Structure 1
């Protein structure tokens, strides 16, 4: 793509950012809102030993679950893995390291990473040996809190309904889920979108993720895709 299309590029171009052993943060909830074209591209590139950060491990053949079930992940940071039996199997076999984080705390850790805060304080699990393991404890106003480290990633991948050439994003109802927070927390953020429109076509009141957080936009090959350029 030439410069007239701003941040819009191709799958082949953005796949250059992906490599073995990297950390990837992904949007989605049970696969809904996860970027199918990007995930398929990562699979085809053969990348392994990934650290994956997101709400869950999807399903075996849906969303990020494809990477997990094909043993591409070395570690997962998520709120649960129950929807993907491969994740539990690999964890029990010692093939997959899993760091569990309560869903709200996980999202707040991602938000903190996106805005440059190094950690948050939480009283959730402060007296639970499993939850509190290896975490510093901080006392504030006489109350103990766990210090939960913020989360960032080398690359964040998100899925949106619409984008313009500057990377402003609009999401589709519940498919919005964790994507806005994930978009903020990557050193590089790549948005896969279903429709690309010229600058000025998006209603400013509907934009959820400003383009300042997005480095690249690629068209989605999954489902209906539109190029709304004049």
Structure 2
């Protein structure tokens, strides 16, 4: 059988190129392929289009690529608490295409399934459908580029908007377990967006915590047909996006 394993993350991403579109799995900081992202940062490529629900946080995950100004455009749902993401968007250094989370997942899945577009109710009656969302700002704060209107059709008396599928040059994903043929098992909510990021990519690269010689077919969440490269990275720690605490009563005494 074909062994898809690579020795290091650096080797696995070595052919990534300037201007590539990169689909990245995970939600917040959970299930993100942080080791592969670090390898992309080390490689030094730029002008990237990042397709991801969000772009990590300052100093971690995709936030590090933003810090290095390696990202030209993002397609995602949430800026969140990433200050650099917001600053670069509002200053005109970064183009941002907003899309609802469910729509983003379906656009990625459709890209992998060979479906060019689909109709959805998400966004009907908003600027997502009619156009006019700021995609890029000028340095003076005026809008340089607005989103375009989307095609609308009525089915059974209800309006729907047409959303195009997403296809990426490369997909970076994180999995709990894999075999050498690229069959993947995800753990709990770390599954969010990871299967879709692999499916929509021309080359899908998976970092995995546990590498085994054989998986029970009933365990498999994503078949190896969607995965091109596997890197064993060992157990990974998940950071905390927003730490909220309350005062220690004992310290007040």
TM-score (norm 1): 0.89
Q: Which SS does the other structure have where 2:61 is aligned?
A: coil
Residues 174 and 48 (structure 1 numbering): CA distance in 2 closer, same or farther, change over 3 Å? same
Q: Please give the residue correspondences for 1:187-226 in structure 2 after superposition, counting only pairs within 5 Å.
A: 187-198=202-213, 200=214, 202-220=215-233, 223=236
Q: CA contact under 8 A between 2:89 and 2:96: conserved in structure 1?
A: yes
CA distance in 1, matches of 2:113, 2:203: 14
User: What whole-Å deviation, never above 9, does each CA across 1:90-135 have from its counterpart, x for those lacking one?
Assistant: 0000001001101111111111111111111122222223443121
Deviates more, 1:167-176 or 1:208-217: 167-176
Deviates more, 1:54-63 or 1:71-80: 54-63
1:127 aligns with one of 121, 125, 128: 125
TM-superposed deviation, 1:222: 6.4
1:161 aligns with one of 172, 176, 180: 176
Q: CA contact under 8 A between 1:30 and 1:83: conserved in structure 2?
A: no
Residues 17 and 127 (structure 1 numbering): CA distance in 2 closer, same or farther, change over 3 Å? same
Is 1:16 equivalent to 2:14 in the alignment? yes
Is 1:6 equivalent to 2:3 in the alignment? yes
Is 1:40 equivalent to 2:38 in the alignment? yes
Is 1:108 equivalent to 2:98 in the alignment? no
Show structure 1 runs of 5+ residues with no match: 225-230
Q: CA contact under 8 A between 1:166 and 1:211: conserved in structure 2?
A: yes
Match of 1:174 in 2: 189
Query: Over aligned residues, Cα RMSD in angstroms?
Result: 1.8
